[in-house]
Amino acid sequence: MNWFTTAFILIAIALALALREHIWLRKASITNGTIIEILTSQGQKGITSNPRVRYVAADGSPHEFTRSYYSSNPKYSVGQQVTVAYDRNSYEGRIVLFAERFIFAAMICCLGLAILVSVIIFQLGRSLVPRIYLQHQIISESAK
């Protein structure tokens, strides 16, 4: 597999992840939630945190959830209000924030685009550089 193909595969994966998240959010119900606790964990890279969120569904039932990952950069505090999207059937909840929902897809897409741009630049360089410098060398040799 060449780099061009790798770039397009990464971009396709990123778009699929973003589309999957978008579809989930479009089907979800939106409500307000409150950070009720900050869970902490001591890891290899120091202390990480994860907010526990409480929200009330449209049917009046209370629910809580935590993110599926911990972060070393705590950006939430107890009592903070957040926007929550939740599945009406399973009550699976997620904090609605671009960075929380799409950052992984955005990073994969940026990696794919960086590879694609690099491949294009190197392909252009491979075809232009010999013409520029060989042309100069041919002109120099003919002037002798």
pLDDT score, position 1: 72
Residue 127, pLDDT > 60, answer yes
The DSSP call for residue 95 is E
pTM listed for this prediction? 0.74
Q: What's the whole-number average pLDDT of the chain? A: 89
Mean pLDDT calculated for residue range 56-77: 89
pLDDT score, position 125: 84
8 Å CB contact between 55 and 31: yes
Measured between its terminal Cα atoms, the distance across the chain in Å is 46
Domain that holds residue 87: 3-143
Name the residue with tokens 């959830």: 65
Residue 70 host element (H or E): none
Q: How many structural domains is the chain composed of?
A: 1
| Distance, CA of 36 to CA of 124 (rounded, Å) | 55
Mean pLDDT calculated for residue range 42-67: 91
pLDDT score, position 74: 74
The DSSP call for residue 68 is S
8 Å CB contact between 53 and 66: yes
